[in-house]
């Protein structure tokens, strides 16, 4: 019923305009539009088109499609927000991990530096100790060499003295005196060795 009122309200101005343009008057004093009037025919066609649209509920279908599309867009926006929030959480996680890795790298570098310094100090101490041992060994070798040289010089001096004494004694002593001197020398050497 409501649709008929809407249709009548839309047809009234068209009918009035058509009557003025060339309709004819009925016996009751009403004007009936003529189908030769193009404005009237276009108006009737338009109204029939609107009636068909309303009959098949095209506006409701369009509104339903628009509502469905709006819900789809809203769903897409919600999904995009969720993805953005997830991406921000992942980014924050990676930034936190990056800071942790940077701190760990700093700790590793500091530990390596400390270890290298300790190793350098140990190597320095070992080197100093090695140098001291070598110096001591060299001093001992020098002392031993000096003692051997002094011993050789003494031995040679003794040999020279003995040879010189033998020469002197040969010329000055007889055989009995020489035997006494040899015996005395053997006794002296034996006492010194003990």
Q: Chain centroid to CA 171: how far? A: 103
Note the pLDDT of residue 127.
Answer: 93
Gyration radius from the chain CA atoms: 68
For residues 138 and 130, what is the distance between their CA atoms, to the nearest angstrom? 12
Average pLDDT along the chain: 81
- Burial of 55: CB neighbours in 10 Å, binned 0-12, 13-18, 19+: exposed
Q: pLDDT at position 10, please?
A: 63
DSSP for 125-180, written as a single string: HHHHHHHHHHHHHHHHHHHHHHHHHHHHHHHHHHHHHHHHHHHHHHHH--HHHHHH
pLDDT of residue 55: 87
Q: What is the pLDDT of residue 28?
A: 55
| Domain residue limits, the chain | 2-56
The pLDDT assigned to 136 comes to 92
pLDDT of residue 109: 94
Residues 6+ apart with CB under 8 A from 173: 181
Q: What's the pLDDT score for residue 153?
A: 79
DSSP letter for each residue of 51-119: HHHHHTTHHHHHHHHHHHHHHHHHHHHHHHHHHHHHHHHHHHHHHHHHHHHHHHHHHHHHHHHHHHHHH
Mean pLDDT, each 10-residue run in order, the chain (194 residues): 61 58 52 73 88 87 93 96 95 94 94 93 92 92 88 77 70 69 74 64
């Amino acid at each position: 019923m409501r649709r008929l009122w809407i249709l009548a309200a839309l047809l009234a101005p068209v009918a009035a305009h058509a009557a003025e343009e060339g309709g004819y008057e009925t016996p009751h004093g009403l004007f009936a539009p003529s189908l030769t009037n193009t404005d009237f025919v276009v108006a009737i066609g338009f109204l029939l088109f609107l009636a068909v649209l309303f009959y098949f509920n095209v506006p409701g279908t369009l509104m339903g499609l628009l509502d469905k599309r709006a819900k789809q867009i809203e769903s897409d926006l919600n999904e995009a927000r969720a993805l953005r929030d997830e991406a921000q959480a992942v980014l924050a996680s990676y930034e936190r991990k990056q800071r942790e890795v940077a701190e760990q790298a700093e700790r590793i570098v500091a530990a390596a530096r400390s270890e290298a310094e300790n190793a350098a100090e140990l190597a320095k101490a070992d080197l100093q100790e090695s140098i001291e041992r070598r110096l001591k060994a060299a001093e001992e070798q020098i002392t031993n060499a000096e003692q051997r040289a002094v011993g050789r010089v003494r031995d040679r001096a003794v040999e020279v003295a003995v040879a010189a004494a033998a020469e002197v004694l040969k010329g000055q002593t007889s055989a009995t005196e020489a035997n006494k001197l040899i015996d005395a020398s053997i006794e002296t050497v034996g006492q010194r060795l003990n």
